Amino acid sequence: MAGRYDARMDYRTAVCENTRTAWDVHAWRCRMKEETKGEGWKIKNRFLLYLWMLPQNLLGLLVLFIFRKKKTFVEPFNECRVYALESKFLSGASLGRYIYVNRILTRDEAEYREAVRHEYGHFRQGKLFGVFYLLAVGAPSVLNNLFARKNKKVSATYYQRYPEKWADRLGRVRR
């Protein structure tokens, strides 16, 4: 690719051909920084994120312990672990890195994937709110869920309310 800078060529080649622009140099430096970042940074970032989300992570571990015999399978989803449960009470929950989805309520695979993405949206909310997630997002979500189970009017607008609508947007769920 003579005469044009390709992101795959190294910096010296671009300099020799005098084809680099400021953006090309920036892109090359960013790419090199990512390639040399190393596993140490990833581990440190994961640990700091776990601490930032510590209350919901601990609650997620508690739920995992309580429902340990009711889980049907576990799968990774981005930075989370998805646990498919068979429970009559829990419909779905995102507690730190632990996502719980009820397999009884989501028998259809498309419905299951939609529920996982919705709960992943709650995970992203947890990353934003950190230790305040349970107060800012968890409590309103649980209260909305309980009201929706008792009241048909609330049930019809459940996903149009805070924080469910925002979780759908963050998880890229279309309803």
Packed helices 109-129 and 164-171: angle between N→C axes, nearest 10 degrees: 110
Least Cα distance to 89 among 136, 149, 135 occurs for 149
Helix (H/G/I), strand (E/B), else coil: 17: coil
Tens digit of each residue's pLDDT, the chain (175 residues):
444 545 555 544 544 454 556 566 666 566 656 655 566 777 888 899 999 999 999 999 999 999 888 888 889 999 999 999 888 777 899 999 999 998 887 778 888 899 999 999 999 999 999 999 999 999 999 999 999 999 988 889 999 999 999 999 999 999 8
Residue 152 phi, psi (nearest 5): -65, -35
Looking at residue 141, what is its pLDDT?
94
Looking at residue 109, what is its pLDDT?
87
Residue type, 136: A
Q: Where are the domains of the chain?
A: 14-52, 53-171
Q: How far apart (Å, rounded) are the C-alpha atoms in residues 105 and 112?
A: 9
Cβ contacts of 86 within 8 Å, gap of 6 or more: 70, 71, 72, 102, 103, 104
Least Cα distance to 94 among 11, 164, 146, 36 occurs for 164
CA distances from 104 to 45, 88, 118, 170 (A): 35, 8, 17, 25
